[in-house]
Amino acid sequence: MSFEPALGLIELCSIARGVYCCDAVVKRAPVRLVHAGSTHPGKYTILLRGGVDEVVESLAAGKAAAGDALIDLVLLPNPHDDLLAILGGAAAPALEALGVLETYGVASTIRGADAALKAGEVRAVSIGLARDLGGKGFFMFTGALHDVEAAFEAGKAAIGAGLLAGAEIIANPHPDVAVGLG
């Protein structure tokens, strides 16, 4: 059993196959299921944590079980601590400059968020993963403007071709903007 943290996500276009895939994922190795369920429009996502080796094994089982229903898959060995915290519902930090990355999928959101957090001295503010978003995702982060700009570019690059739905930087957001970021 490995002790390095890892995060994995499988995104499927079928709810029925998603439930079947989820069963295969959790039976393959000792991982912790963070979230599994349907998302709009008719997708199913499985988010898991565990040791790197265990998450790799579980994702392999999930990919095999998903078959042609697989949309996307992401494995993040050693994800940024802020990404793990924000997926668990941590409170948002006070705002400096604000970066917002919006994607067309859940896996691309997580990929972009991890890259952004690792590219600059930024802090996670909020993440949305498909639920009530029409299958889209978003990630928001804050820090000094130059760090937000660096993180923004790294996040956009990691999201992947054709998966970026929107991207904005607000250099000096009004304090009331924080109310709508949850």
Please count the residues of the chain.
182
Q: Please say if the pLDDT value at position 182 is more than 60.
A: no
Strands of 43-51's sheet in order across: 32-39, 43-51, 5-12, 70-77
Distance CA 170, CA 178 (A): 12
Q: Please say if the pLDDT value at position 164 is more than 60.
A: yes
The tokens describing 59, both together, are 């994702």
Q: Over the chain, what is the mean pLDDT?
A: 88
148 compared with 18, residue with greater pLDDT: 148
Judge contact between 64 and 24, C-beta under 8 A.
Answer: yes
- Name which of 59-68, 88-97, 160-169 the model is least confident about: 88-97
pTM attached to this predicted model: 0.71
Whose structure tokens read 């992401």? Answer: 74
Q: Mean pLDDT, to the nearest integer, of 147-170? A: 95
Dihedral (C-alpha) 102, 104, 108, 109: value to the nearest 10 degrees?
A: 40
pLDDT at residue 177, rounded to an integer: 65
pLDDT at residue 88, rounded to an integer: 64
Q: Mean pLDDT, to the nearest integer, of 34-60? A: 89
Q: Please say if the pLDDT value at position 148 is more than 80.
A: yes
Distance CA 152, CA 113 (A): 9
- List domains and CATH numbers for the chain: 5-77 (3.30.70.1710), 81-181 (3.30.70.1710)
pLDDT at residue 103, rounded to an integer: 94
- Name which of 63-72, 95-104, 146-155 the model is least confident about: 95-104
- Select the highest-mean-pLDDT range: 4-8, 13-17, 99-103: 99-103
Q: Please say if the pLDDT value at position 2 is more than 90.
A: no
Say if residue 77 is preceded by a cis peptide, omega within 30 of 0.
no
Q: Please say if the pLDDT value at position 112 is more than 60.
A: yes
